[in-house]
Amino acid sequence: MNNISKALVLTVTALTLTAATASAAVVCNEEGDCWRVRGAPRYEPSLRLRILPDSWRWREGEHYRWREPGRGHGYWRGGSWIDIR
C-alpha cells in the first residue's frame, strides 16, 4: 500500500470514529416536557431546564411527556416551542 492510500484509509477511519461518537442529551423543563437534542446544549440558568445524558429514562411514578424537538435552538414552555436566537 502506498503512502497516499495509507493516508486515505487513516482519514476515513478517523472521520468514521468521530461521526459515531456524536453527543446527544435529553432536556426537561419543570412542566414535565422532555426532548432530545444533539450536541452539548447550552441554556441560560434562568430557564431552569435540566440537561440529562441521552441514556436517561424516567423512573416509575415520574410523569414526563416526550416532545419532538422544535426547529433550531429552543425549549418547550407552556406547551409551545420557544426559539432562542
Domain range spanning residue 69? 22-77
The pTM for the full model equals 0.67
In a domain? residue 17: no
- pLDDT tops 50 at residue 15: no
Residues 44 and 1: their CA atoms lie apart, in Å, by: 52
In a domain? residue 37: yes
In a domain? residue 68: yes
| Tally of domains within the chain | 1
In a domain? residue 2: no
pLDDT tens sequence across 31-66: 999 999 988 888 999 999 999 998 888 888 887 889
In a domain? residue 47: yes
Grade residue 10 by pLDDT with cuts at 50, 70 and 90.
very low
The whole-number pLDDT of residue 28 equals: 94
Grouping H, G, I as helix, E, B as strand and the rest as coil, residue 47 is helix
Grid cell of 69 as nine digits: 424537538
CB 83 within 8 A of CB 73: yes
